[in-house]
């Protein structure tokens, strides 16, 4: 006899929830029983012997951890279900829309510089940060109808900016950097039941509020006009639901750090299991999130690793590949269009050459000859000292020049190819692939030299490129999916970095410096490679200017003018990947240089492909030279990595750019 569909659906949902929970329960029981025999559990919970370390550990560390994992998972599952329904976006969750990044940055700043604020409660600090970043993102994408790509890319920009600010603060406060990094990666280690009690209260309040909003939220599935006719106020309902989601997610950050992707994975699995109604998703998504995070935390504790992996890092490693699969399966993703700041009057490249030569000369003179003495005072190095300073400053300046030009050309090619002004090397995932390659070698070797690191980064870059091609190629190299695939790879790379830092390896400082985009270890060979590669690309890329002028017109126009879009896009992807990969090899994964330079060229009036190539390369080199020089001088004798400074400045710039964007 054939079972009714409703019964099959309920069985699937119960299996998705119960199977991980069953395995988690078995693992938790075995761990607790290993710590303390079953017949002593009640005594340890009610009358803990303070002289028995086993009972103390059982009562105040292990039991709270067993309880807090499903609580946090349920809270995140509920948050993801609400956000995805309200925004009508299957990729929406607190990590991808930037809420967690703002909450984490706010708590980092308070911990380092205003610890007295912690007495008021961590939740209010994280709430302030999460609300601020979420409001900025919604303001940016409101004119675009909250489209999936606009929301995710805006979230990426906010996350990169907040992450750069956090990393900069940790670089300045090195004694706290490792602890802060592990906390930001999401650790469920407990030393009391305070967090458990607080999260029970928050979760109960969240479930009650979601139940109260259930009927108005169901009406949001209709058009706004129909919902209003039935007595609902769509804008008020959305604001209330979004406020509830932000409140719950920031509470989780306050007590456990950033737990990534559970809010994405739990609702996705429930939908795949057959949940169609909002009532089912709001019921089963928290249960699925609880069982998944509970199982993940149990597995983290038994993995044979030198130190414990943060649970948030493990959830990101498991969740980011699912995001990649979901991107490939999206049916419709609105195109962004080539939009940006209002363009200025078209300029001629010849008019820029004299001004550019002066700017270049001034930048090089300052970079080579202006510095600070051991006492911190500014000084001018006369030409007679150049013989001594040139071997020290020359490789750094020339490497910054070449890498900045390469990143700018890569960004310009991507923006033309995808017709999306938010495209950049770090968004395409090439930098993330190089990071994964280097980290993989570090995991399996004791030492790492430059040739080994170059080979690993090169292998990682091309693996990332291959993965992106496989993801988007079946969709004829959709520009939007290229960008979203890169977001997934960047997330995986940051998760692997957190995993490595959690291992306590002695090479952490080297890794942080490289990932921040530093020219500190640049050699003469690096300078030669960067400048030679940049010059070679400046000679090759202009041969593609006809394609670059036609591709933004669209697929139909490209076909009518004799181009084969898939072949052209494949060549342009490879040309964009080469400079991004080489720059990452030399100075690490940089952010925003590839975004800013093409934008500045466009704002200056260079809209045709050929002049935009040269102007973007010039501006990229100048930007990175200035960032490197400022990084050396601002906190002398300490140094700020050029990549961090570029991202810290580029993030606000790009947010302003998006705010001024024409609809």
Q: What is the pLDDT of residue 343?
A: 45
Give residue 252's pLDDT: 86
Tell me the C-alpha distance between 246 and 239, whole Å: 10
CB 420 within 8 A of CB 554: no
Please check the confidence at residue 504 and state whether its pLDDT lies above 70.
no
Q: Which of 203-207, 312-316, 358-362, 515-519 has the highest mean pLDDT?
A: 203-207
Q: Domains (ranges, CATH) in the chain? A: 19-36+53-329 (1.10.3470.10), 349-659 (1.10.3470.10)
Q: What are phi and psi of 590, to 5 degrees?
A: -100, 155
182 against 127, higher pLDDT: 127
Q: Render the burial of 218-254: b for 16+ CB within 10 Å, e for the rest.
A: bbbeeeeeebeeeebebeebbebbbebbbbbbbbbbb
Angle between helices 99-113 and 148-172 (to 10 degrees): 20
CA pair distance 577, 410, nearest whole angstrom: 7
pLDDT at residue 13 is higher than 50: yes
Tell me the pLDDT of the chain averaged across its residues: 77
Token pair for residue 255? 């007590």
Distance from C-alpha of 188 to C-alpha of 296, rounded to nearest angstrom: 11
Listed residue (552, 482, 97, 537) closest to 327, CA to CA: 482
Which residues, at least 6 apart from 524, have a Cβ–Cβ distance to it below 8 Å? 391, 394, 395
pLDDT greater at residue 141 or residue 593: 593
Reported as a single tens digit per residue, the pLDDT across 577-592 is 788 878 888 887 776 7
Least confident interval from 22-36, 339-353, 436-450, 494-508: 339-353
Question: What whole-number percentage of the chain has pLDDT above 90?
Answer: 8
Cα separation, 506 vs 37, whole angstroms: 38
Amino acid 307: pLDDT: 61
CA distances from 476 to 102, 333, 473, 485 (A): 35, 14, 5, 14
* Burial class of residue 354, CB neighbours in 10 A (0-12, 13-18, 19+): exposed
**Between residues 6 and 523, which one has the greater pLDDT?**
523
d(C-alpha 515, C-alpha 502), whole Å: 16
**Mean per-residue pLDDT, 249-264:** 82
Q: Which secondary-structure segment (H or E) carries 370?
A: strand 370-372
The pLDDT, as a whole number, for residue 1 is 46
Question: pLDDT, tens digit, for every residue of 338-391?
Answer: 434 344 455 566 777 788 888 888 888 888 888 777 666 777 777 777 777 788
Question: Which candidate, 407, 454, 412, 461, places its Cα nearest to that of 434?
Answer: 461
What pLDDT shows up at residue 287? 93
Cβ neighbourhood burial of 338 (10 Å; 0-12, 13-18, 19+): middle
| Block residue for tokens 């939009």 | 339
Q: How far apart are the C-alpha atoms of 128 and 136, rounded to whole Å?
A: 12
Burial degree of 374 (CB within 10 A; 0-12, 13-18, 19+): exposed
**Is-contact 600 408, C-beta < 8 A?**
no
Q: Say yes or no to pLDDT of 22 above 90.
A: yes
* 3-state class (DSSP) for residue 168: helix
Cα distance between residue 486 and residue 203, in whole Å: 33
The DSSP symbol for 118 reads G
Residue 535 pLDDT: 92
Phi–psi pair at 639, nearest 5 degrees? -120, 135
Phi-psi label, residue 16: left if phi above 0, alpha if psi -120 to 50, beta otherwise? alpha
Confidence of residue 10 (pLDDT cuts 50, 70, 90): confident
For range 600-616, the mean pLDDT: 84
What value does the CA radius of gyration of the chain take, rounded to a whole number of Å?
26
What the block records as the tokens of 72 is 């946090």
The helix/strand count (H/E) of the chain reads as 29, 2
Please give the pLDDT value at position 70: 93
Contact assessment for residue 426 and residue 493, using Cβ atoms and an 8 Å cutoff: no
Tokens for 184, please give them: 């930001």
Contact between residue 442 and residue 511 where contact means Cβ atoms under 8 Å apart: yes
What pLDDT was estimated at residue 348? Answer: 63
Given pLDDT bands bounded at 50, 70 and 90, which one contains residue 657?
A: low
pLDDT above 70: residue 271 = yes
Weakest-pLDDT range from 51-65, 196-210, 328-342:
328-342
pLDDT tier at 596 (50, 70, 90 boundaries)?
A: confident
Do the Cβ atoms of 80 and 287 come closer than 8 Å? no
- Tell me which DSSP letter residue 173 carries: S
Distance CA 262, CA 320 (A): 10
C-alpha to C-alpha distance for 151 and 144, rounded to whole angstroms? 9
Other CB atoms within 10 Å distance of the CB of residue 269: 23
In 3-state terms, what secondary structure has residue 607? coil
d(CA 85, CA 81): 6
In degrees rounded to 5, what are phi and psi of residue 372? Answer: -130, 145
Query: Phi and psi (nearest 5°) for 370?
Result: -105, 125
Confidence of residue 471 (pLDDT cuts 50, 70, 90): low
User: In this predicted model, what pLDDT tens digit does every residue of 208-220 receive, in sequence order?
Assistant: 999 998 888 888 7
The Cα 75–Cα 84 span in angstroms is: 14
> Bigger pLDDT: 645 or 240?
240
For the record, the structure tokens of 657 come out as: 């750019």
Residue-by-residue DSSP string for 147-210: -HHHHHHHHHHHHHHHHHHHHHHHHHSGGGHHHHHHHHT-----SSSHHHHHHHHHHHHHHHHH
What is the per-residue pLDDT for 8? 67
Residue 31 φ/ψ region, left for φ over 0, alpha for ψ in the -120 to 50 degree band, beta for the rest: alpha
DSSP letters spanning 305-354: -SSPPPHHHHHHHHHHHHHHHHHHH-S------S--SPP-----HHHHHH
pLDDT in tens, 117-174: 877 777 788 888 888 888 888 777 776 656 655 666 677 678 777 877 776 676 666 6
Q: At what angle do helices 63-87 and 234-256 cross, to 10 degrees?
A: 150
Residue of 405 and 465 predicted with greater confidence: 405
- Which DSSP string do the residues of 238-252 spell out, in sequence order? HHHHHHHHHHHHHHH
* 40: pLDDT strictly greater than 80: yes
> Of 148-157, 394-403, 439-448, 573-582, which range is least confident?
148-157
Q: Which of 562 and 625 is assigned the larger pLDDT?
A: 625
Distance, CA of 519 to CA of 515 (rounded, Å): 11
């Amino acid at each position: 006899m054939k079972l009714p569909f409703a019964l099959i659906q309920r069985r699937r949902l119960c299996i998705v929830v119960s199977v991980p929970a069953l395995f988690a329960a078995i693992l938790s029981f075995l761990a607790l029983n290993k710590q303390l025999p079953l017949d002593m559990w009640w005594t340890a919970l009610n009358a803990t012997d303070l002289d028995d370390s086993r009972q103390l550990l059982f009562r105040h560390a292990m039991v709270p951890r067993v309880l807090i994992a499903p609580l946090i998972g349920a809270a995140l599952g509920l948050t993801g279900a609400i956000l995805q329904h309200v925004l009508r976006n299957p990729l929406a969750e607190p990590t991808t829309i930037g809420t967690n990044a703002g909450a984490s940055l706010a708590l980092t700043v308070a911990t380092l510089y205003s610890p007295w604020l912690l007495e008021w409660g961590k939740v209010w600090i994280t709430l302030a940060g999460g609300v601020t970043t979420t409001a900025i993102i919604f303001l940016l994408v409101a004119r675009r109808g909250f489209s999936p790509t606009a929301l995710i890319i805006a979230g990426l920009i906010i996350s990169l900016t907040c992450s750069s600010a956090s990393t900069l603060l940790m670089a300045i406060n090195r004694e706290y950097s490792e602890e802060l990094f592990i906390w930001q990666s999401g650790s469920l280690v407990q030393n009391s039941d305070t967090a458990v009690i607080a999260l029970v209260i928050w979760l109960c309040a969240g479930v009650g509020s979601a139940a109260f909003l259930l009927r108005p939220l169901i009406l949001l599935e209709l058009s706004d006009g129909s919902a209003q006719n039935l007595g609902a106020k769509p804008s008020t309902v959305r604001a209330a639901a979004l406020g509830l989601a932000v409140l719950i997610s920031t509470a989780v950050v306050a007590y456990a750090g950033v737990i990534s992707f559970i809010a994405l994975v739990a609702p996705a699995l429930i939908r795949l299991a057959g949940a169609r109604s909002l009532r089912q998703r709001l019921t089963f998504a928290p249960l699925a999130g609880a069982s998944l995070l509970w199982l993940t935390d149990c597995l983290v504790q038994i993995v044979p690793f030198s130190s414990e992996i943060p649970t948030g890092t493990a959830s990101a490693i498991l969740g980011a590949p699912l995001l990649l699969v979901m991107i490939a399966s999206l049916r419709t993703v609105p195109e962004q269009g080539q939009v940006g700041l209002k363009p200025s009057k078209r300029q001629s490249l010849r008019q820029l050459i004299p001004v550019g030569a002066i700017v270049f000369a001034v930048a090089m003179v300052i970079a080579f000859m202006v510095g600070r003495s051991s006492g911190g005072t500014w000084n001018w190095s006369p030409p007679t000292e150049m013989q001594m300073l040139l071997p020290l400053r020359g490789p750094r300046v020339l490497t910054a020049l070449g890498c900045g030009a390469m990143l700018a050309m890569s960004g310009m090619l991507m923006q033309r190819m995808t017709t999306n002004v938010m495209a950049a090397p770090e968004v395409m995932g090439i930098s993330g692939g190089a990071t994964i390659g280097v980290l993989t070698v570090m995991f399996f070797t004791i030492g790492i030299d430059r040739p080994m690191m170059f080979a690993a980064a090169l292998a990682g870059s091309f693996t990332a490129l291959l993965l992106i091609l496989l993801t988007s190629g079946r969709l004829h190299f959709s520009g939007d999916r290229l960008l979203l695939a890169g977001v997934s790879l960047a997330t995986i790379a940051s998760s692997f970095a957190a995993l490595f830092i959690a291992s306590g390896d002695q090479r952490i400082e080297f890794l942080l410096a490289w990932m921040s985009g530093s020219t500190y270890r640049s050699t003469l060979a690096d300078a030669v490679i960067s400048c030679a590669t940049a010059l070679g690309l400046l000679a090759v890329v202009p041969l593609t200017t006809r394609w670059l002028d036609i591709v933004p017109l669209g697929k139909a126009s490209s076909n009518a003018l004799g181009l084969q879009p898939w072949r052209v896009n494949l060549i342009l992807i490879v040309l964009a990947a080469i400079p991004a990969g080489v720059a990452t090899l030399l100075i690490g994964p940089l952010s925003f240089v590839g975004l800013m330079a093409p934008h500045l060229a466009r704002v200056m009036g260079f809209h045709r492909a050929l002049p935009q190539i040269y102007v973007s390369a010039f501006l990229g080199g100048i930007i990175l030279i200035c960032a490197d020089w400022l990084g050396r001088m601002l906190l002398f004798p300490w140094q700020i990595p050029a990549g961090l400074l570029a991202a810290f400045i580029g993030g606000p710039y790009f947010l302003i750019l998006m705010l001024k964007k024409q609809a």
